Amino acid sequence: MTLHLLKISLLTATLVCLSMSVNASEENEQAAKSGGDATGRLNYRSFVEPAKNVPRMEQLDFWDGFSFFRDPWIASPSITKDRDGLGPIFNARSCKTCHADGGRGRPSKHGKIAEPALLFRFLQENAAKGDSRYGSQLQPLAIRLSHGKLTKPVQGEAQVRVFYDEIIGQYADGETYTLRKPRYKIENLAYGPLDKGTYISARYAPAVYGMGLLDAINEKDLLNLEDINDADKDGISGKYNQVIDVVSGEKRIGRFGFKGLHSTLEQQVAGAFVNDIGITNPIFQAETCLAHQVACKQAASVEPEHVLDIPKKLHDLTVYMSQLIAPPPARDLQSSKSKQGQTLFYKLQCQQCHTPSFTTDTSYQVKALAGQTIWPYTDLALHDMGEGLADKGIENLALGSEWRTPPLWGIGLQHRVQGFSAFLHDGRARTIEEAILWHGGEAQPHQRKFLSLTKQQRDALLYFLKQI
């Protein structure tokens, strides 16, 4: 009798394993098309690929819009009317500078002035405001312009030098690891000292592929994941920032930016244009010069009054291009190593924040992106990531320790496509492994489970993450 029951038990276990294997295989077959029919072509030279299901004539609009992403802007006045309007103060001359090849920009090195892809926000401790002399974002560069309206040259606001301190840790099996904790030194402040209580918070430009599909997720599907007070007692209390949609004036959830400060992709693109490059546009029509930045305001007045740096037609073309930059396909999901890593991904409950899949809104304005089953591995919600990653400000509803869950699709391609890799909101993590090890707050139990894995298990989990 005992032997008979043992045989039944073994048979049942075998059937369960086979069922899980079949389900995983079916899931992985779907997940290989990370953006559904809008998945891009696998390209080891660039992340800039249009969605495959876009009609050929519309792909021409994609590449026209891409030129405004790729090419540098110049100062006004200029004979190049489609490319002038840079600054007067700015972070970079083009979108490509910070989003190289559609991915992330070059990471900053120890002891060096920060690369353009690492921008800095000015925050007040426990307050939702910037600095009185420098506003909410540091703009280190300025145009060089000779003009009768200028009484003195325009000055960039300051530079930031980046340093990294090493932290040594150890896995349960005795293997050691090294993390980098960044610190920043602000130099050459052009308009006097910062306000008392002002500090800087670093933001490392994200990859831009797949953003149109994230924009296409129905807001209700995201809100169904919200659990602010952890009602289900699983230790995860994701919430969505509440922000004003500048176009409609309505309050909506923020799904773009590391703190979820923009509700739509159009607003995110427009905000980057004006804050990072100094390009006024139909959404943000005012230059970022503050009242006491006299030379900046004088330089801005050189341009014809009420003329936007990028008019609505070109703005719409750029937004359309941004919507259609497709996520790359997943790769080796059916191998035994990848499936083991996938099992560990769920065992460690990474999916509680990195939600694997959504189906986009069937009524989304860009038909190619509507009704697609996508695999971004994010809930786009804010989560408490602990003191190790925290800044001290409040941005709408986002507290200092709260960061939006980043999508994971394509992260394993970063080094191969771009020749470098960096992760997390400030680029401190050099590898996916380091990024996991920085997880704290409500993610700390999952980080501790990762620490307890064997090296073979860690390698399998990381291998799976590199395939999605």
Please report the pLDDT score of residue 304 as a whole number: 79
Closest by CA to 329, choosing from 121, 30, 13, 3, is: 30
pLDDT over threshold 70, residue 418: yes
Span 161-185, pLDDT tens digits: 999 999 999 999 999 999 999 999 9
| Contacts with 212 (C-beta within 8 Å, 6 or more apart), sequence order | 38, 51, 265, 322, 323, 324, 325, 366, 369
36-47 burial, b if ≥16 CB within 10 A, otherwise e?
A: bebbbeeeeeeb
Please report the pLDDT score of residue 145 as a whole number: 83
Number of Cβ within a 10 Å radius of residue 180:
18
pLDDT over threshold 80, residue 232: yes
Distance CA 190, CA 52 (A): 48
pLDDT grade, residue 76 (50/70/90)? confident
Estimate the share of the chain in helix, then strand, then coil, as percent rounded to the nearest 5.
Answer: 35, 15, 50
Q: What is the mean pLDDT of the chain?
A: 93
Angle at 130 between CA 126 and CA 135, to 5 degrees: 175
| Contact call for residues 425 and 368 (beta carbons, < 8 A) | no
Please report the pLDDT score of residue 147 as a whole number: 79
Please report the pLDDT score of residue 323 as a whole number: 98
pLDDT over threshold 90, residue 465: yes
Please report the pLDDT score of residue 16 as a whole number: 37
pLDDT over threshold 50, residue 360: yes
Percent of the chain clearing pLDDT 90 (strictly above): 88
pLDDT grade, residue 1 (50/70/90)? very low
Mean pLDDT of 32-57: 97
pLDDT over threshold 80, residue 375: yes
Go through the chain and tell me how many residues it has: 468
Closest by CA to 436, choosing from 458, 414, 403, 467, is: 458
Tokens 């807001």, located at residue: 219
Please report the pLDDT score of residue 125 as a whole number: 87
Between strands 373-374 and 382-384, the pairing is unpaired
Please report the pLDDT score of residue 146 as a whole number: 78
pLDDT over threshold 60, residue 238: yes
Span 251-300, pLDDT tens digits: 999 999 999 999 999 999 999 999 999 999 999 999 999 999 999 999 99
pTM for the model stands at 0.93
Span 313-332, pLDDT tens digits: 999 999 999 999 999 999 99
pLDDT grade, residue 81 (50/70/90)? confident
Distance CA 19, CA 279 (A): 55
pLDDT over threshold 70, residue 19: no
Please report the pLDDT score of residue 27 as a whole number: 81
- Of 305 and 40, the one with more pLDDT: 40
